[in-house]
Amino acid sequence: MKKITETIANAFSQGSTKSLGNTSTDGNAFYLHGNKIAEWRENGLHMSLAGWSTVTTRERLNGIAQTIGLKVSFTQKAFEPYLNGKLINENAWYNVREVHLDAIDREKAFDASPVGQFVESL
């Protein structure tokens, strides 16, 4: 994780205001180049690529998730954005708490499988 990501993600996770280079937080939202890419809402943390599926945007979002301890991963494959392996809209907002809980459920299904294979019935 880049130092700038670590610094701002820590401030964001603690609800503090911080700005460094092209990244900032007011404690409630996380911004990259002035674009809001993460925010706390009543029902949890929401994230978006804000229309910019760039290496930097994904790195910042993944850094926030790692700092908070969420099993959330933004990736790209064949120029298409993915969230935890599922194709997503780069302009949409996602409640990552739900994505995190889904990832934990999948891990439990994998761990409970008699031969260590994912159980599709979940």
Assess if residue 72 is contained within a domain.
yes
Residues 6+ apart with CB under 8 A from 33: 22, 52
Assess if residue 110 is contained within a domain.
no
Domain containing residue 32: 3-94
How would residue 32 be classed by pLDDT, with cut points 50, 70 and 90? very high
Residue 104: per-residue pLDDT? 67
How many folded domains does the chain comprise?
Answer: 1
Assess if residue 65 is contained within a domain.
yes
Assess if residue 117 is contained within a domain.
no
How would residue 24 be classed by pLDDT, with cut points 50, 70 and 90? very high
Assess if residue 63 is contained within a domain.
yes
pTM above 0.75, yes or no: yes
Assess if residue 64 is contained within a domain.
yes
The model's pLDDT over 58-100, given as tens digits with 9 standing for 90+, comes to: 999 999 999 999 989 999 999 999 999 999 999 999 998 877 7
Assess if residue 106 is contained within a domain.
no
Assess if residue 100 is contained within a domain.
no
Q: Which long-range contacts (CB under 8 A, 24 or more apart) does 84-90 make?
A: 88/49, 90/48, 90/49, 90/50, 90/51, 90/52, 90/53
